[in-house]
């Protein structure tokens, strides 16, 4: 029996273009007092990162898969297929790297191996939607002699920042202050430089503040004015908005605002509704604020963007966009008054009307949501950083 442990040194969340580092430890768990006949051996072990794609058959019409590349691996085969046994299609994978060959461990002996690979920048982000799913995993394959391959899968979360794939690493200038007492390889410098560049771009895109005002009206007049200070956010930020109802000519009884994502299947992959297909557009609400606002002059709201959610993106099959979805309930009666008069000559009992004729309407305001720091996402939404399998 051999125990294989894979540990991600910095957590399971990464930015596309970063270097993933994983320590693989192979241990013979028998006590050291066991006989030498209890030694264990592995023929080889290798590691590979892949992205698995799965689409809902009721929502997405995909072309038939290529039958020339079967997803079945004979037990006698010694080729690593990281997606063996999983649903969907493998749309992206890194070249496999061999960790060791012909390893023999005595009882109680343990050996560790380091695996490092740059996450491809051309892939989609990690996403689990209603229509499609993009799932990243680090797969470690081990095999004994004359035995089937055993797979250890480590789940990953990949965030994608558009534009980084077009940036080239500078070769002739220092990208960060260096110390003569510290050694740093070229890959470490590039990874650190890419992370800093992504942070600078995210800060520049989301720190600009400028008040945007929108007049809200229905068919009978103005309801109010909505104000928001920016339209680009990062995961983990709060969407803050103000609503001024004092200037409206139509009484607003209630409003609600929802922070939503819109997942839309591209037209060429939409399944026809007449053929039993589900809707090609689905909406998920991440936060919601509702308020009764009759006689309210000004109000505000704050909606947090979950760190565990997926930023907006677009692929050939599906697109994900963010929006604020407003719903308003207004009175049909002009000059509606539902409060008792301030001055009354004699004490009297006052009751409001039992019924008020109302109208409802909705309004959508698109916003843009970008990734955040992978370290922050790892701390706020921790996932498993260690995976274990026994062979």
Alpha carbons 23 and 27: distance in angstroms, whole number: 13
**What whole-number percentage of the chain has pLDDT above 70?**
79
Which residue has better confidence, 174 or 51? 51
Least confident of 114-128, 301-315, 338-352: 338-352
Specify the pLDDT at position 337: 59
β-partners of residue 361 are: 328
Question: pTM (2 decimals)?
Answer: 0.82
pLDDT at 321 over 90: yes
Per the prediction, the chain carries an average pLDDT of: 83
pLDDT at 243 over 90: yes
Beta strand pairing status for 386-390 and 3-8? Answer: antiparallel
pLDDT band at 172 (very low <50, low <70, confident <90, very high): very low
CATH fold, domain 3-62+79-160+374-390, is Immunoglobulin-like (2.60.40)
**Residue among 131, 123, 129, 109 nearest 59 (CA):** 131
Which CATH number describes the domain made up of 208-335+356-370?
Answer: 2.60.40.640
Q: Do domains 3-62+79-160+374-390 and 208-335+356-370 have the same CATH topology?
A: yes
Alpha carbons 378 and 385: distance in angstroms, whole number: 10
> Domain spans of the chain?
3-62+79-160+374-390, 208-335+356-370
Least confident of 44-48, 80-84, 104-108, 292-296: 80-84
pLDDT at 251 over 80: yes
Specify the pLDDT at position 299: 96
Specify the pLDDT at position 24: 94
């Amino acid at each position: 029996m051999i125990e294989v442990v894979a540990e991600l040194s910095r957590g399971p969340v990464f930015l596309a273009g970063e270097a993933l580092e994983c320590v693989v430890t192979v241990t013979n768990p028998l006590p050291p007092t066991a006989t030498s006949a209890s030694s264990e051996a592995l023929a080889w072990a290798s590691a590979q990162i892949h992205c698995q794609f799965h689409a809902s058959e009721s929502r997405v019409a995909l072309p038939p898969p290529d039958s020339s590349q079967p997803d079945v691996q004979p037990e006698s085969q010694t080729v690593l297929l990281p997606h063996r046994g999983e649903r969907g299609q493998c749309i992206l994978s890194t070249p496999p790297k061999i960790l060791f060959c012909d390893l023999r461990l005595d009882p109680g002996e343990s050996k560790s191996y380091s695996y490092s690979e740059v996450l491809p920048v051309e892939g989609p982000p990690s996403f689990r939607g209603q229509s499609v799913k993009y799932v990243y995993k680090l797969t470690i394959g081990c095999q004994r002699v004359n035995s089937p391959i055993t797979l250890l899968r480590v789940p990953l979360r990949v965030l994608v920042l558009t534009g980084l794939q077009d940036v080239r690493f500078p070769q002739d200038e220092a990208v960060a202050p260096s110390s003569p007492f510290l050694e740093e390889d070229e890959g470490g410098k590039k990874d650190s430089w890419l992370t800093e560049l992504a942070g600078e771009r995210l800060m520049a895109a989301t720190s600009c503040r400028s008040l945007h005002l929108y007049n809200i009206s229905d068919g009978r007049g103005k309801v109010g004015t909505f104000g928001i200070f920016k339209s680009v956010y990062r995961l983990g930020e709060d969407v803050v908005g103000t609503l001024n109802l004092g200037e409206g000519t139509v009484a607003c009884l209630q409003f609600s605002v929802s922070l939503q994502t819109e997942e839309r299947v591209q037209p060429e992959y939409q399944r026809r509704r007449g053929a039993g297909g589900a809707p090609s557009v689905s909406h998920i609400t991440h936060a919601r604020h509702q308020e009764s606002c009759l006689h309210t002059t000004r109000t505000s709201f704050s909606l947090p963007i979950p760190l565990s959610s997926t930023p907006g993106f677009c692929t050939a099959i599906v697109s994900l966009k963010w929006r604020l979805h407003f719903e308003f309930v207004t009175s049909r009666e002009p000059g509606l008054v539902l409060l008792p008069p301030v001055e009354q000559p004699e004490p009297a009992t006052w009751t409001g009307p039992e019924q008020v004729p109302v109208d409802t309407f909705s309004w959508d305001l698109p916003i843009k949501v970008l990734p955040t720091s992978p370290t922050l996402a790892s701390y706020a939404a921790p996932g498993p950083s260690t995976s274990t399998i026994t062979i």
